Structure 1
Amino acid sequence: MPTPLPVSDIPSLSVVVPCYNEQGVLPEFHQHLCAVMDRVGRPWEVVYVNDGSKDQTLVVMRDLEQQDNRVSSVNLSRNFGKEIALTAGLDHARGTQGVIVIDADLQDPPEVIETLVAEWSDDVDMVYARRRAREGESIPKRFTAWMFYRVMAKLGNRVVIPPDTGDFRLLSRRALDSLLQMRERHRFMKGLFAWIGYPSKAVFYDRAPRAAGVTSFNYWSLWNFALEGITSFSVLPLQLGTYLGFVISLLAVLYGGWIVLNTLLFGSHVPGYPSLMSVILFLGGVQLMTLGLIGEYIGRIFNETKNRPLYFVESYHVAGVPQAGVKPE
């Protein structure tokens, strides 16, 4: 963990911003963030996490450090993915009262932070930003996002994930400390935010298009992201495999009984090749699908048993002071 700052320099709020190839938007984002946080009126820091960017994101971070002593940066040793990068930022957040999570692409307007802080109180540990509109996104993207949140609501196994809600939120220090106790490798942060419980409150906002750059998420990565969420918080897919096998077995028994009865009543005749192949291919497909589903869960168990660190930090800067080789707990 990072070296503690002097008590007088410890911020009350930390803003954690995971970054991957954000050189084009980071300076503008920082300007917006500074204006907003200055209006909030509490001591604060921003923790930028460079998740193995291939562009000049790290250089931009270093420039921001020189210009603003409230900027900290965590440079990961390689690209670990957004969920791990976000975890690294939360690990290094010093805020004594709370932490704010936001992306750098300006789709989540920093101005909403004022509303998050205003709705935050001693009785509310988490204030999350819920999307009212999603400008700049295609109809298929909006539809699949809508479907994902509704499916997760059905599969959540007593964990209620708020619909149309991303990572943009404010957490109290108590909620953050609880969240950081969970160190699983396959991290679905939206689910983890919901899993810890604590009183929460929603704030509605309109999501804007990206200010610059291109999103790193495509439909394949979004599918894998959805699969991660479903397998992390529900075993219902395995149960569905069991139910499907039971139903197919029941139908097979009924079909077999019909064949026997038909033979006794009307005599034997040559079975049809197309119907036989259809049944074989159908049952084979169901078996392979079920085995693949079991494999998804076994693969996650395998990765968890390795007990590897979540990430490695190549360098960590606070107010221009580097600390290289810092590792997570």
Structure 2
Amino acid sequence: MTETISVVLPVFNEEAGIKTTIDTLEKFVSKQPEHYELIFVDDGSKDRSVEIINAEVKLHDNIKIVEFSRNFGHQIAITAGLQYTSGDAVVVMDADLQDPPEVIPRMIEKWHQGYDIVYGKREKRDGETIFKKFTAAMFYRTFQKLATINMPLDTGDFRLMNRKVVNQMQRLHEHDPFVRGQVTWIGFKQTSVEYHRHERIAGETKYPLSKMIKLSLDGITSFSMKPLQLVNLFSGLPLLGGLIYLIYLIATGGFTAMTTGITLLLFSLGLIFLSLGIFGSYLGRVLDQVNNRPRFIVRNTVGFDERASSIHHLETRQQVTR
């Protein structure tokens, strides 16, 4: 029996390169022994991305598209795409061909060897600035120190998951999901394949610094309580700092009530605001959950049968019944 591989591709303003991506993927899958379905999840694109994909849906019966009502975010797009898959295994990859499809057969080989999750480990990254590479490396290593899970270094969302893993992923209902962390958290038998990440085929990155910072904060606050624990440490620092500074002023003869008061006040205020910021990050996640809103809204689906085209109602039902 021929296996079916579902490929989930989040899309956001990829007009410049989406046609090339589709042509490349169709050429690739035509040579594979498995049957492939390509599920594009449009995350509220403002360009012609949806128009181009819809034109390709008419030409290829294995291409499908899920259109969001607005931009909900890359991680949400992946989460939504998983709900629409029907394959024996699911591959998540970006729609800009930075993740080369030629790696997929190696992932499938590992899956056939008994692994439930096979993630791509980047051994080289083209087309990225030194700053981007440095901050990415720092995030993964900081995350490993803080988090309660052992997420592999230098891995993104490019990975293969078998059906039982995908089914478990659909049971998670975080409003700001950190998908690669979730995949690590659920466990199962995991391994990696190394690959060379290419430069974007066209257009600009959809992950500027602001989105990278948000993704990092979502990851850390989802899987670590250590920042909250650090607040307890912060509470003792003003007292310790004030004591050291008081001893210094006495020793140097510069002690006055004004200098001491101003220094301690500024130091204390800085720590208070830092602590409030950390608390706010966690409380914000709690607020998102208790609001009980659906994580995404689907405007339209094309290429699915009636059963799959009604899946987006599941999100609302799950929010109401939980």
Shared fold per TM-score greater than 0.5: yes
Distance 2:144 2:266 in 1: 33
- Larger Rg: 1 or 2? 1
Q: Which moved more, 1:28-37 or 1:64-73?
A: 28-37
Report SS of the residue matched to 2:13. coil
Whether 1:111 and 2:92 are equivalent positions in the alignment is no
Are the equivalent residues in 1 in contact too, given 2:242–2:264 (CA < 8 A)?
no
* Aligned-partner residue type, residue 191 of structure 2: K
Of the three residues 288, 311, 314, the one matched with 1:328 is 314
Are the equivalent residues in 2 in contact too, given 1:29–1:106 (CA < 8 A)?
yes
Distance 2:311 2:124 in 1: 42
Whether 1:84 and 2:76 are equivalent positions in the alignment is yes
Of the three residues 69, 81, 90, the one matched with 2:61 is 69
Of the three residues 170, 188, 213, the one matched with 2:178 is 188
Instruction: Report the alpha carbon displacement of residue 247 of structure 1 after superposing the two structures with TM.
Output: 3.8
* Aligned-partner residue type, residue 314 of structure 2: P
Q: How does 1:232-251 map to 2 (within 5 A)?
A: 232-251=222-241
Are the equivalent residues in 1 in contact too, given 2:234–2:275 (CA < 8 A)?
no
CA RMSD of aligned residues (A): 2.5
Are the equivalent residues in 1 in contact too, given 2:124–2:195 (CA < 8 A)?
yes
Are the equivalent residues in 2 in contact too, given 1:315–1:326 (CA < 8 A)?
no
TM-score by length of 2: 0.90
* Aligned-partner residue type, residue 231 of structure 2: G
Whether 1:56 and 2:48 are equivalent positions in the alignment is yes
Partner of 1:210: 200
Distance 2:116 2:33 in 1: 20
Distance verdict in 2 for CA 1:252–1:46, change over 3 Å: same
Are the equivalent residues in 1 in contact too, given 2:9–2:93 (CA < 8 A)?
yes
Partner of 1:42: 34
Partner of 2:256: 271
Are the equivalent residues in 1 in contact too, given 2:12–2:42 (CA < 8 A)?
yes
Unaligned 5+ segments in structure 2 are 316-322
Report SS of the residue matched to 1:30. helix
Report SS of the residue matched to 1:213. coil
Distance verdict in 2 for CA 1:50–1:238, change over 3 Å: same
TM-score by length of 1: 0.88
* Aligned-partner residue type, residue 193 of structure 1: V
Are the equivalent residues in 2 in contact too, given 1:314–1:326 (CA < 8 A)?
no
Distance verdict in 2 for CA 1:315–1:133, change over 3 Å: same
Report SS of the residue matched to 1:328. helix
Q: How does 1:165-176 map to 2 (within 5 A)?
A: 165-176=155-166
* Aligned-partner residue type, residue 31 of structure 2: R
Partner of 2:93: 102
